[in-house]
């Protein structure tokens, strides 16, 4: 452990990762497992069977009060009013200039209460930004430090979860949440994930984290459950074209450029709407696209994309896809080269490799409902 991460936060499951032989890295101020047996084998375990993730670095806020709905309608792009209690929505918070503060999940927990899940690297920034826009009777509480978060992901996730809860999972739709007994403890869990597979995310008060880890891994032993690190989490989400804040979206990108127009509800007023609507009407100068390359070399964040001798964009995320067995990448390019089937070149270590723009997601057989 280097001096730079001596102050990093240990999640409630840190000791279990160490005991399992995980390679630990600092990520967003937390000491997190990046891999256990290896990124490729962990990735394929989630695609083919079932994996367990520690996501306790994520941030969780509670927003409540008579004006909570109006507040979230103003500060996020999607239509929060469309959520029924128990439903979840993917959305983003835009700056007045149209860029993205963060992407997030919004859980409707009551008529006037909501639960937000935000990115670890943006936790304090998000809280401060939301707090600065509060109006009326709105309570905003940061719950992050008191909660651990485990994700069970993969085509066999329901088989394992069925052993841990009596809740009717067969009739639990994707992007919904409930509070029910999990391993004997009343906990909120959702049918959500960042992998493209079926799965559940369980929010656990710190005092119950150790017991839950043991219960999940004990039940999982009969299903060949694998422990999964951040490395495979990144390659899994990339295969599904799920954006990573700080790479694919940030303050300098808009929802329209990033292909997130589907989470923008135009029939309401929200911060940045005028700028984003104007960009939609005029069409953005660049788009976030999916690229497939031949060979083994894969591009990383910041690598340049060319059309002939003209530089037209750059890679935001790249990896060698374990599922497709080829290099894949996300990147922004000039709109004229963003069409499916367009060919470009990506510069990798001073050599250019041909790439083709493909329809998202890269991985087409994911099993989520």
145-176: pLDDT as tens digits = 999 999 999 999 999 999 999 999 999 999 99
Burial tier of 51 (Cβ tally within 10 Å: 0-12, 13-18, 19+): buried
Cα 240 from chain centre: 11
What b/e sequence results for 121-152 when a residue is b if at least 16 CB atoms lie within 10 Å of its CB, and e otherwise? Answer: bbbeebbebbeeebeeebebebebeebbbbbb
Tell me the mean pLDDT in the region 333-348.
97
Could you tell me where in the chain the CATH 2.40.30.110 domains are found?
A: 247-358
Q: Specify the DSSP class assigned to residue 232.
A: H
- pLDDT > 80? residue 33: yes
Q: What CATH class has 247-358?
A: mainly beta
For CA atoms 323, 324, 326, 331, the dihedral sign is: negative
* Both structure tokens of 191: 């049918």
Tell me the mean pLDDT in the region 294-309.
95
Q: Read off the pLDDT band of 3 (50, 70, 90).
A: very low
Q: What is the pLDDT of residues 193-234, one digit of tens each?
A: 999 999 999 999 999 999 999 999 999 999 999 999 999 999
- pLDDT > 50? residue 347: yes
What would you report as the CA-atom Rg of the chain, rounded to the nearest whole angstrom? 21
Q: Read off the pLDDT band of 119 (50, 70, 90).
A: very high
Q: What is the pTM of this model?
A: 0.96
Q: Specify the DSSP class assigned to residue 4.
A: G
Pick from 369, 368, 49: nearest CA to 197: 368
Could you tell me where in the chain the CATH 3.30.1360.120 domains are found?
A: 1-246
What b/e sequence results for 159-196 when a residue is b if at least 16 CB atoms lie within 10 Å of its CB, and e otherwise? Answer: bbbeebbebebeebeebbbbebebbebebbbbbbbbbb
Cα 165 from chain centre: 25
Q: 1-246 has which fold?
A: Gyrase A; domain 2 (3.30.1360)
């Amino acid at each position: 452990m280097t001096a730079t991460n001596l102050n990093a936060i240990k999640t409630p499951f840190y000791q279990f990762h160490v005991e399992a032989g995980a390679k630990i890295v600092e990520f967003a101020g937390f000491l997190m497992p990046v891999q256990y047996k290896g990124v490729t084998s962990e990735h394929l375990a989630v695609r083919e069977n079932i994996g367990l993730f520690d996501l306790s670095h994520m941030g969780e806020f509670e927003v409540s009060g008579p004006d909570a709905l109006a507040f979230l309608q103003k500060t996020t792009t999607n239509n929060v009013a469309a959520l029924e209690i128990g439903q979840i929505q993917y959305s983003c918070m835009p700056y007045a200039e149209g860029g993205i503060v963060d992407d997030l999940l919004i859980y409707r927990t009551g008529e006037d209460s909501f639960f937000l899940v935000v990115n670890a690297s943006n936790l304090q920034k998000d809280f401060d930004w939301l707090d600065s826009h509060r109006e009326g009777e709105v309570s905003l509480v940061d719950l992050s430090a008191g909660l651990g978060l485990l994700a069970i992901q993969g085509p066999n996730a329901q088989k394992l979860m069925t052993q841990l809860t009596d809740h009717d999972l067969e009739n639990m739709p994707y992007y919904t949440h409930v509070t029910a007994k999990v391993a004997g403890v009343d906990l909120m869990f959702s049918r959500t994930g960042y992998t493209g597979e079926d799965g559940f995310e369980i929010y656990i008060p710190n005092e119950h984290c150790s017991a839950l880890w043991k219960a999940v891994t004990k039940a999982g032993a009969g299903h060949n459950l694998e422990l999964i690190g951040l490395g495979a989490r990144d390659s899994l989400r990339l295969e599904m074209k799920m954006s990573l804040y700080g790479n694919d979206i940030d303050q300098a990108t808009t929802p329209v450029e990033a292909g997130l127009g589907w989470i923008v509800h135009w029939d309401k007023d929200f911060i940045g709407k005028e700028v984003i609507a104007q960009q939609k009407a005029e069409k953005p100068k660049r788009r976030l696209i999916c690229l497939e390359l031949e060979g083994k070399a894969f591009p990383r964040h910041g690598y340049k994309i060319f059309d002939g001798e003209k530089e037209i964009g750059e890679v935001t995320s790249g990896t060698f896809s374990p599922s497709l067995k080829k290099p894949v990448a996300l990147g922004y390019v000039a709109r004229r080269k963003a069409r499916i089937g367009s060919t470009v070149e990506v510069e990798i270590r001073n050599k250019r490799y041909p790439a083709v723009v493909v329809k998202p997601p890269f991985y087409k057989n994911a099993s989520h409902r």
